């Protein structure tokens, strides 16, 4: 009979190979599992770091005025040591450099608004800038921002910093945000404001930007102001616009085209007391707003005063071109104002079903 068993010392190659392959596969599997686990840990740590930086960026931006107040308090408390600084600073800020916030601002601190740290701010709100029309860089524009919300959070990622690529989407347009003149009275805060590209909202300032700085120079005005901040509430878009026609007059006098901007999500960041749930508190708020020219909303967000993690999408409308007139009639101003209102309503209605799906009611112009 034939002996089918392998001779002594003979190696069964297929068996050995199969065993080697199995062992290698097992080792590879264990290595892959270990690698997947390591990658999972790294991914978790990176995600945690990103979220922490997002929260930090929002917290710092929201607290800039408080940080400024704390620094001022420390400097004043140690006035015996810091008085030379105050003398030099006040001489420079309120004498030598006093006109800068009213004549187009400055880019000497541009690095602050270009700081990559603000990208985390944009990521927290998943911010986006939506362009609906081209803007000719040889012309000037007066942008109207709506709604005011509690703190105008949409301005930083979409217009102040370049997180949403404003400069790429609108090449040649050099835009300045605007705010109340009281912000340029507070020491150090005036520098922070200008570092963010913010200037005075006064007529003198706007006219200087739109008629004397050159082609492409533009300004953005938050039309609703302090009164509108008290109307901000999730799911709603109540605006104060019928009473605001001064910006139209300035646009006509300078020949700048008007551009409506609506930021979806701006009113969804906080809840606050309203006429319905706290009428007495609201009365006090209105009185304070008249005295201080800015409002102090009583609001709450995702936890405490931190804003809710809501998407901010700024949609930029098509320009409304104007015939320049040094002394426009009330009728012409009213006509252009109505064109602006119609354009803003169309802008909202064209995009509400995509960016405001959770709204409780549509945009209203309450006064």
Q: Can you give the pTM of this predicted structure?
A: 0.86
Task: Specify if 14 maps to a domain.
Answer: no
Give the number of other Cβ atoms within 10 Å of residue 251's Cβ. Answer: 30
d(CA 243, CA 365): 10
d(CA 84, CA 174): 37
d(CA 309, CA 151): 14
d(CA 184, CA 177): 14
Phi, psi (deg, nearest 5) at residue 19 = -65, -40
Longest alpha-carbon distance in the chain: 122
d(CA 176, CA 201): 10
Q: How many domains does the chain have?
A: 1
330: nearest Cα among 256, 255, 272, 248 = 248
Cα–Cα distances (Å) from 217 to 26, 136, 156, 157, 245, in that order, read: 66, 11, 18, 20, 21
Instruction: Report pLDDT for 16.
Output: 45
Do 218 and 142 touch, CB atoms closer than 8 A?
A: yes
Note the pLDDT tens digit of each residue in 279-335. Answer: 788 778 777 777 766 667 777 888 778 999 999 999 999 999 999 999 999 999 999
d(CA 297, CA 231): 9
Instruction: Report pLDDT for 33.
Output: 56
Do 263 and 154 touch, CB atoms closer than 8 A?
A: yes
Instruction: Report pLDDT for 92.
Output: 95
For residue 153, give its domain range.
99-365
Task: Specify if 170 maps to a domain.
Answer: yes
Sequence-separated (6 or more) residues with CB below 8 Å from residue 154: 125, 127, 145, 263, 265, 266, 312, 314
Instruction: Report pLDDT for 247.
Output: 97
Task: Specify if 36 maps to a domain.
Answer: no
Task: Specify if 351 maps to a domain.
Answer: yes
Note the pLDDT tens digit of each residue in 239-257. Answer: 999 989 999 999 999 999 9
Task: Specify if 248 maps to a domain.
Answer: yes
CATH code assigned at 267: 3.40.1130
Query: Burial letters for 304-319: b for 16+ Cβ neighbours within 10 Å, e otherwise?
Result: eeebeebebbbbbbbb
Rounded to the nearest 5 percent, the helix, strand and coil shares of the chain are 50, 15, 35
Phi, psi (deg, nearest 5) at residue 157 = -75, -30
Task: Specify if 9 maps to a domain.
Answer: no
218: nearest Cα among 148, 284, 280, 145 = 145
93: DSSP letter:
I
Q: In which residue ranges of the chain is pLDDT below 50?
A: 1-18, 21-22, 25
Instruction: Report pLDDT for 1.
Output: 41
Instruction: Report pLDDT for 7.
Output: 44
Task: Specify if 52 maps to a domain.
Answer: no
Instruction: Report pLDDT for 21.
Output: 44
Task: Specify if 303 maps to a domain.
Answer: yes
Note the pLDDT tens digit of each residue in 61-94. Answer: 999 999 999 999 999 999 999 999 999 999 999 9
Instruction: Report pLDDT for 351.
Output: 98
């Amino acid at each position: 009979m034939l002996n089918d068993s392998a001779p002594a010392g003979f190696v069964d190659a297929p068996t050995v190979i199969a065993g080697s392959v199995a062992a290698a596969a097992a080792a590879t599997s264990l290595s892959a599992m270990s690698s997947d686990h390591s990658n999972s840990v790294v991914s978790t740590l990176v995600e945690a770091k990103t979220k922490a930086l997002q929260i930090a960026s929002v917290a710092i931006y929201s607290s800039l005025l408080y940080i400024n107040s704390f620094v001022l308090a420390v400097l004043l408390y140690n006035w015996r040591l810091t008085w030379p600084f105050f003398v030099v600073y006040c001489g420079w800020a309120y004498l030598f450099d006093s006109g800068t916030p009213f004549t187009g601002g400055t880019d000497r601190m541009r690095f602050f608004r270009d700081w990559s740290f603000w990208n985390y701010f944009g990521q927290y709100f998943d911010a986006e800038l939506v362009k609906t029309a081209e803007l000719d860089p040889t012309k000037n524009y007066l942008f109207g921002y709506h709604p005011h919300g509690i703190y105008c959070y949409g301005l930083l990622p979409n217009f102040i910093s370049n997180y949403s690529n404003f400069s790429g989407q609108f090449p040649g347009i050099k835009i300045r945000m605007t705010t109340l003149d009281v912000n340029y009275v507070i020491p150090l805060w005036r520098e922070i404001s200008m570092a963010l590209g913010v200037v005075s909202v006064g007529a003198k300032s706007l006219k200087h930007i739109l008629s004397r700085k050159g082609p492409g120079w533009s300004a953005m005005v938050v039309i609703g102001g302090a009164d509108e901040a008290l109307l901000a509430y999730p799911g709603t878009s109540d605006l104060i616009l019928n009473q605001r026609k001064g910006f139209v007059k300035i646009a006509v006098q300078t020949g700048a085209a008007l551009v409506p901007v609506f930021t979806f999500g701006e009113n969804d960041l906080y809840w606050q007391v309203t006429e319905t749930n706290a009428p007495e508190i609201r009365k006090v708020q209105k009185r304070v707003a008249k005295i201080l020219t800015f409002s102090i909303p009583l609001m709450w967000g995702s936890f405490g005063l931190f804003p809710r993690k809501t998407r901010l999408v700024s949609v930029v409308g098509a320009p409304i071109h104007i015939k320049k007139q040094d002394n426009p009639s009330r009728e012409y101003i009213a006509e252009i104002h109505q064109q602006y209102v119609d354009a803003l309503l169309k802008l909202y209605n064209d995009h509400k079903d995509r960016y405001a799906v959770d709204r409780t009611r549509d945009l209203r112009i309450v006064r």
